[in-house]
């Protein structure tokens, strides 16, 4: 689903951008959705983009760089997702020629797919609401 | 609609609480929705609660106090809403015996009603999504 993949705004690293918005006159309806796990944030827009980039680059550091994010921050997000998930979303291999790589597990693939489905339906919700909103 | 009025968490003044969440096992689906006007935030959860409290107390300062919010912050929120709206949502009267009061305009009443309708449908959206979410 690359064509519909949202752009990540690297100027806005510390908070996820709004998940969707629809303009009507001067007004926009905006919103965000995210999933919290047993002890903190599990999955939201920025984390889903990070998982996609890890799939694309096979590396947490290259995924982080592509998003203008520090390796440390990306690593912490991956660690947080792996801890909150029922089974890890990302597997890492350390050492070896060329250093360690990272790849998504099948649970990671499923989490991305599930989140983008939710995200698409949420955008549709906002679109419908905007059409009926009286402001 | 007082019975369904959400509680405002006064420990969380600087950011609106999540508009809705549904627990399932250890996971919660959370989200927020808000409306932006031509030059900034127009209406969200905290602002809608503030408008309701102004209707209830007939005073910005008492409404602010009831939410654990400074008068200055409440006044700025009201000023922002009035500037972003097509017509003012809150009218204030200065001076006179007992100081100035504040009351909602018919546009203010309509804005509250419109936002809580959106909010209720968003909670329903989250509930339905939570039931179908595979995590």
**Helical H segments across B1-135, by residue range:** 45-57, 60-66, 71-84, 106-132
Residue A124 near chain B (CB below 8 Å): no
Per the model's pLDDT, the better-predicted residue between A11 and B120 turns out to be B120
Total domains present in chain B: 1
Containing structural domain, residue A86: 36-132
pLDDT class for B76, splitting at 50, 70, 90?
very high
Closest Cβ opposite residue B35 in set A29, A42, A111: A29
pLDDT of res. B1: 37
Closest-CA residue of chain A to B38: A26
Q: What are the tens digits of pLDDT across the range A65-118? A: 999 999 999 999 999 999 999 999 999 987 555 457 999 999 999 999 999 999
Query: Does residue A15 belong to any structural domain of this protein?
Result: no
The complex's ipTM works out to: 0.79
Number of Cβ atoms within 10 Å of the Cβ of A98: 7
d(CA B75, CA B61): 8
Per the model's pLDDT, the better-predicted residue between B17 and A121 turns out to be A121
Q: Which two tokens stand for residue B2?
A: 């007082």
Query: Does residue B25 belong to any structural domain of this protein?
Result: no
Query: Does residue B81 belong to any structural domain of this protein?
Result: yes
What does DSSP assign to residue B134? Answer: -
Query: Does residue A31 belong to any structural domain of this protein?
Result: no
Question: Are B135 and A43 in contact (CB < 8 Å)?
Answer: yes
pLDDT of res. A55: 97
Query: Does residue B74 belong to any structural domain of this protein?
Result: yes
**Helical H segments across B58-95, by residue range:** 60-66, 71-84
Query: Does residue A62 belong to any structural domain of this protein?
Result: yes
Q: Which of A38, A49, A69 is nearest to A119 (CA)?
A: A49
Q: What is the mean pLDDT of chain B?
A: 84
Query: Does residue A52 belong to any structural domain of this protein?
Result: yes
pLDDT of res. B62: 95
* Chain A residues inside the 8 Å CB shell of B27: 35-38, 42
Query: Does residue B19 belong to any structural domain of this protein?
Result: no
* Chain A residues inside the 8 Å CB shell of B42: 27, 135
What does DSSP assign to residue B94? Answer: -
pLDDT of res. A14: 37
Q: What are the tens digits of pLDDT across the range A26-67? A: 889 999 999 999 888 999 999 999 999 999 999 999 999 999
**Helical H segments across A10-105, by residue range:** 45-57, 60-66, 71-84
* Chain A residues inside the 8 Å CB shell of B133: 35, 114, 118
CATH of residue A117: 1.10.10.10
Cα–chain center distance at A45: 4
């Amino acid at each position: 689903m690359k064509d519909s993949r949202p752009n990540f705004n690297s100027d806005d690293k510390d908070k996820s951008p709004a998940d969707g918005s629809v303009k009507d006159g001067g007004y926009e309806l905006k919103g965000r959705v995210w999933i919290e796990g047993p002890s903190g944030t599990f999955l939201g827009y920025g984390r889903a983009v990070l998982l996609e980039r890890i799939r694309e680059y096979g590396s947490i550091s290259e995924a982080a760089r592509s998003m203008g994010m520090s390796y440390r921050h990306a690593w912490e997000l991956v660690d947080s997702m792996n801890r909150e998930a029922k089974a890890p979303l990302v597997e890492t291999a350390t050492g070896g020629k060329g250093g360690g790589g990272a790849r998504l597990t099948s649970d990671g693939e499923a989490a991305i797919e599930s989140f983008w489905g939710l995200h698409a339906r949420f955008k549709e919700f906002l679109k419908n609401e905007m059409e009926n909103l009286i402001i």
